[in-house]
Structure 1
Amino acid sequence: MAGRDFTPVDSPDTADLVILNTCHIREKAAEKVFSEVGRLRQLKDSRAKDGKSMYIAVAGCVAQAEGAEIVRRAPAVDMVFGPQTYHRLPDMIDRADAQQARGQTVRVLDTDFPAEDKFDHLPGKTGHKGATAFLTVQEGCDKFCTFCVVPYTRGSEVSRPEADIVQEAQRLVDGGVREITLLGQNVNAYHGAAQAGGTQSLAGLLYRLSEIEGLERLRYTTSHPRDMSDDLFEAHGALDTLMPYLHLPVQSGSDRILKAMNRRHTAEDYHRIIDRLRTKRPDIALSGDFIVGFPGETDADFEQTLELVRFVKYAQAYSFKYSPRPGTPASVIEEQVDEAVKTERLAALQALLNEQQYAFNQSVVGHTMRVLMEREGKSSAQLLGRSPYNQAVHVDFASLSGAETLDESATQPYTRHMGRLLDVEIVSAGPNSLRGRPVLTGTSF
C-alpha cells in the first residue's frame, strides 16, 4: 500500500484502512473477528460524523472460509479477501472508492485461488526494520488432518523458487536483518525450483541461505514429522547458522488418536525423530503442538500423550482443547468429548509442559549464550533479545561502565547494541523468560 501513499499508524483511531488478519484454526479465534469488527464499527461511525472515512477489511483464513457469512453478518466490513489475494489490495481499494463515489454500499469480496503467484506482484522493497524477519518459502497443505481447515483455506502445497527466496533474504540482510525464520504451513515439505535446475529441498535451501554474508541465524516453522528428511537431520548437525530449536507438532501421543487425526505418523515414529535430532544436535530444544479432547479420546489415550511429553521434555509447547471446525471430517464424529473433560485434561497437560519449560530455562542459568538484541525492554537500560533456543532474554546494561556503553550517536548508550549478537551471562530464569547481563569478552555455548 506504500505505492498508494498509505503509511502505518499506531492506532485505528487515525486509520483510513483497518485490516483484521485472521486465523481459522480455532473457533474462539474466528469469533474474535466479529467482536473486533463491532468495536471498529463504532469508531467508523464516529469518524463518519467528522466527515472522515474508514475502510474495514477482513483478511486471512476466516475471510477465505466464511467470506459470505462475514458480508451478511458484519455490514460494517467493506472488504473481505483471502490469503492468496492480498496482493490485489490496491485494486480492491480502487473498487471500494468507485462504489463509494457512486453512493453505493461498499462491498468487495475476493476469496479466489488465483493462478498467478502473489509474490510476483508484491513490491521488492519491503520497508522491513529490525534484526529479525520472517520469510515465506512455502504455503498450503496436502496432509488433510481431520481436525484442520488449512488445506481448504490455504490450498495445496506450493513452494517458492529458490532464487526468489535467496534474493529476498539478501535484501533483508542488506537492510540490517541478522536472523531469518523461514515460514510455511508445512515448511519442511518445501520443494521449490532450484537455481541449478530441478527442485530444492528445505535442507538445501538452508545451506544456500547460510552462504549469505551477514546472515547470522536461521530458523524454520512449522514442520510436520512426515517431512523430516535425512538431509534435514544432517543440516541440524552441520550448519552453525541453523539454531538449535525446532517446533515439531505431534498433537497426540496415542497411535489410535493419531490415526483418527490422519497424522500419518505414530508415537514411535516421533520418538525416533527426536532421537535422530538429538544425535545430530545434542543440545536441540524442542517445541510442539497438542490437541486434547479429540473426538473419541479416552483417559488411556490422554495418558499416552503425557508419556510422550515426559519422554521428549519440551522447552516450549502450545496446547489447546479440540475445537470442531465446520467442513472438517472430525467435526461430524459422534464421539465428542465432554467440555469439562477437555478442560481437566488441558490443565493437566499444561501443568506438565509448564514444568518442563521452567526446568529448561533454569538449566541455562550460569551459562553464557549468544543473544540477538531485538528491541528495548520495559526496564531502564534494558534490551530484549532471543537466545539460540528461542527464549526471551531481558539483558540489563545498567552494570556496564560508561566506557563500555558510550556511543555519541545513540540517544541511550546501551541502544548501540540493538541488532547485534552479544555474549550474555544468564543470571536468572522465570517460567517464560530469562534475565542476563552482557559479557564483553568470553565465549558462548
Structure 2
Amino acid sequence: MEMLALQNKVHDETKQGEAFAPFELEPNIFRKHFYIESYGCAMNFSDSEIVASILNNEGFGATKNLEEADLIFVNTCSIREKAEATIRKRLTEFRKLKEARKGVLVGVLGCMAERLKAKLLEEEKLVDIVIGPDAYRSLPSLIEEAEGGQKSVNVLLSRDETYADISPIRLDSNGVSAFVSIMRGCNNMCSFCVVPFTRGRERSRDAVSIVAEATDLFKKGYKEVTLLGQNVDSYYWFNEQKDKAVTFAELLEMVALIHPNLRVRFSTSHPKDITDDVLFTMAKYENICNYIHLPIQSGNSRILQLMNRTYSREWYLAKVDRIREILPDCGITTDIITGFCTETEEDHQDTLTAMAYSKYDMAYMYFYSERPGTLAERRFDDDVPLDVKKRRLQEIVDMQGALSTQSNLNDIGKTFKVLIEGNSKKSDTDWSGRTEQNKSIVFPKGNYQLQKGDYVHVKVNECTRATLLGEIVK
C-alpha cells in the first residue's frame, strides 16, 4: 500500500485522528449526533468526510462530544498489526460506553470491516454495524436495522463506486487545505499489502466531478487541494462525450488551471507509473507543488521482487535522477519496510545506501508486519527475528534523521512562498505553514496584516530536524 502518508511518528504504525465537523451546530437543528474517529491513511480521512455527508442528509449532526453521540464510528486501518490492536482497544472502550447508555450504536468502517467482520460482530460483540469502503451509501438502512436490534453488515466491494456525486463535509478542517479523492482501490498486488483485498480493484472518478469539487473548494476559501488515490499516477478516465481519455498529467493540469492561487498536491505515486508527462506538467505550473511521495519500500532488487514492486533498485534510483533533472528543487519523501521475508544484512545495507543516494526529505519507516490474507503471508515465511527488525529499523530511522537534518540545513538562507495554515502549535504569536516541498515552517507574525490562507514569502534562518524556522520578507 502506498497511502501511508499521515502517520505522526516513525515508530507509530497508525495515526489516530478524531475527525469532526468544522462548523458550530445550531441548537436542536439535528435530532441525533454522530462521532467519527479516523485512523491510518489519508484516504480514510477523506472517506470519513463522505460518511459525514451521508449521515448529515439523514439528520445526524457531527459532535466533538463522545458523551452526546448516538452513533460512534471508527474508520479503520488494517495496514499493520499495531493499527488493528489500537482500534480494538478503542472499540473495547466504546463498548463500556454502550453498556452505560442504552441506544448508542457503534460501527466499524473501512479496511478492518471487510477483513474482520465476523469477529467484530459475533465473536467479540464489539460493534453493531460493519460497513466496507464501497458500501457507505447503505448506511441509512444499516442504521435502521441496527436500531431494530439486528447486527448490520455490508462489506461488498464495487467495480464502479467512486462517490463522485457526494459533496464531502470537511471534518476538522483548517479551512485552507482539503482532500479530493480521484480514484479508489488498487490493482498493484504488492505481496505485503491488504489494500487490494479490502478496497477492491482500481477505478477512476470522472474528471468533471473532480474539477467541480476543487473549484467549489476554492470558491469557499480553500487554497490547497490534495488529489488522493492509492496510486494516483494510474488515474485513467474515459470521457465518452469527447471520445478521449484523461490521464493523471491531464487531470493535474485541469485542476491547476482552476486558479493560480489554488495549490495542488497529490498522493501517492507508485514509482512504476509516474511519467515524464506528470513531471513536465508539474514544472509548467507554479501552483502544482514540487513534492512527490515516492515509496521505495526496500533498496534491494531481490527483496523488491519478493514484494512484487515491479521495479529494481537501479530503476528506482534512475527515476529519482529523472525527477531531479526535470524538477531540481522537488521535495521527495518515501516509505520503507525493513525486515521483509528473507532480508539479509546485505539487503538491509542496500536500503541504507539507496536512502543516502535519494537524499529523502522525510520517510515513513516500519518493520515488516505480516498481514493475514496477503500474498506474502501465503508464499513466504516471516523469518526475520523481531529484535533484528527493530535494530534495522533504528538504523534506518537514524539514517533518515541525518538526511532530514541536512535537507533542512540546506534550506537556510533560502526564501520560500508559504501558504499560512494557522497558528503555530507552540505559540499564537507565530504562523505555521508549508513550503511547496511540503516542509513545515514556523515564523513570527510580526506587524503584518495577514490571515490564515494568505501566501507570504518566508526566509529560513534556522531549522530543527522536522521544522524550518524563518521570518517574513517583502
Same fold per TM (> 0.5)?
Answer: yes
| Mapped partners of 1:426, 1:45: distance in 2 | 54
TM-aligned CA deviation for residue 3 of structure 1: 1.5
2:151 aligned residue: 107
Offset at 1:234?
Answer: 1.5
1:89-238 pair list within 5 angstroms: 89-97=139-147, 99=148, 104=149, 106-114=150-158, 117-120=161-164, 122-123=166-167, 130-194=175-239, 196-213=242-259, 215-238=261-284
Question: What's 2:126 paired with?
Answer: 76
* Pairing partner for 1:13 from 67, 79, 83: 67
**Is structure 2 residue 91 aligned with structure 1 residue 37?**
yes
Q: RMSD between aligned alpha carbons?
A: 1.8
CA pair 323-125 structure 1, distance change in 2 beyond 3 A: closer
Residues 159 and 200, structure 2, Cα contact 8 Å, conserved in 1: no
The answer (yes or no) to whether the contact 1:429–1:435 under 8 Å persists in 2 is yes
Is contact 1:254-1:302 (8 Å) kept?
A: yes
Tell me by how many angstroms 1:5 deviates. 2.5
1:325-370 Cα offsets, whole Å, 9 max, x none, are 1111212413611111101100001100111111112221222211
Residue of structure 1 aligned with 2:305, choices 259, 275, 282: 259
Deviation at 1:213, TM superposition (A): 2.0
After superposition, where does 1:317-396 map in structure 2 within 5 Å?
A: 317-332=363-378, 333-334=380-381, 336-378=383-425, 379-396=427-444
The size of the alignment, in residue pairs, is 416
- Residue equivalent to 1:63: 113
Separation in structure 2 between the aligned mates of residue 168 and residue 289 of structure 1, nearest angstrom? 29
Specify the alignment match of 1:426 in structure 2: 460
The alpha-carbon deviation at position 245 of structure 1 amounts to: 0.9
Aligned to 2:470: 436
Deviates more, 1:61-70 or 1:113-122: 113-122
How far is the alpha carbon of 1:261 from its aligned partner? 0.7
Counterpart CA distance in 1 for 2:275 and 2:416 is 29
Kindly tell me: are residues 39 and 279 of structure 1, through their superposed partners in 2, closer, same or farther at Cα, counting changes over 3 Å?
A: same
CA shift for structure 1 position 13: 2.3
Q: Could you list the per-position Cα deviations for residues 33-66 of structure 1 after superposition, in whole angstroms to 9, with x for gaps in the alignment?
A: 2100011112222233xxxx32111111111111
TM-score (norm 2): 0.84
Q: Which digits, 9 at most, give the CA deviation of each residue in 1:59-83, with x for residues without a partner?
A: 1111111111211243131111111
CA contact (8 A) 2:415 2:457 kept: yes
Q: How far off its partner does 1:429 sit?
A: 1.0
Aligned CA distance change for structure 1 residues 4 and 380 (closer, same or farther; 3 Å) = same
Percentage of identical aligned residues: 33
Counterparts in 2 of 1:16 and 1:417: CA distance versus 1, 3 Å: same
Residue 125 of structure 1: CA displacement? Answer: 6.8
SS across alignment from 2:299? coil
Give the alignment of 1:249-328 within 5 angstroms.
249-328=295-374
CA distance in 1, matches of 2:396, 2:153: 41
d(CA) in 2 for partners of 1:272, 1:287: 16
* 1:60–1:302 distance in 2 versus 1, CA, 3 Å: same
Name structure 1 gaps, 5 residues minimum.
Answer: 406-415
Is this contact kept in 2: 1:246–1:286, CA < 8 A? yes
Q: 1:41 is paired with a residue of what secondary structure? A: helix
**Could you say which structure has the larger radius of gyration?**
1
**Contact 2:235–2:247, Cα closer than 8 Å, also in 1:** yes
* Unmatched 5+ stretches in structure 2: 1-54
Say which SS state the counterpart of residue 193 (structure 1) adopts.
Answer: strand
Assess if the C-alpha contact under 8 Å between 1:236 and 1:280 holds in 2. Answer: no
**C-alpha distance in 2 between matches for 1:377 and 1:335:** 43
- Is contact 1:59–1:82 with CA below 8 Å preserved after alignment? yes
Aligned partners of 1:138 and 1:157 also within 8 Å: yes
Judging by fraction of residues, say which structure has more helix: 1
* Secondary structure of residue in 1 paired with 2:101: helix
- Any idea what SS the aligned residue of 1:134 has? strand
Separation of aligned partners in 2, 1:298 and 1:120 = 45
| Alignment check: 8 A CA contact 2:162 2:204 kept | no
AA partner of residue 396 (structure 1): P
For 1:250 and 1:124, how far apart are their aligned partners in 2?
32
Distance 1:11 1:376, change over 3 A: farther
Give SS of 2:347's match.
helix
Q: Which residue of 1 aligns with 2:136?
A: 86
Distance 1:279 1:120, change over 3 A: closer
Preserved contact between residue 170 and residue 178 of structure 2 (Cα < 8 Å): no
- Specify whether residues 113 and 47 from structure 1 end up closer, same or farther in structure 2 by C-alpha distance, changes over 3 A only: same
Q: Deviations over 1:172-220 (max 9, x none)?
A: 1111111111100111110013474321111110111111025421111
1:411 counterpart residue number: none
Q: Deviations over 1:269-321 (max 9, x none)?
A: 11111111111110111100111000000001111111100100000111101
Query: In structure 2, the residue corresponding to 1:117 is in which secondary structure?
Result: coil
- How far has the Cα of 1:116 moved from its partner? 5.5
Alpha-carbon distance in 2 for matches of 1:87, 1:335: 38
With normalisation by structure 1, the TM-score equals 0.89
User: Residue type of the partner of 1:304?
Assistant: D
Q: Which has the higher contact order (CA 8 A, sep 6+)?
A: 2
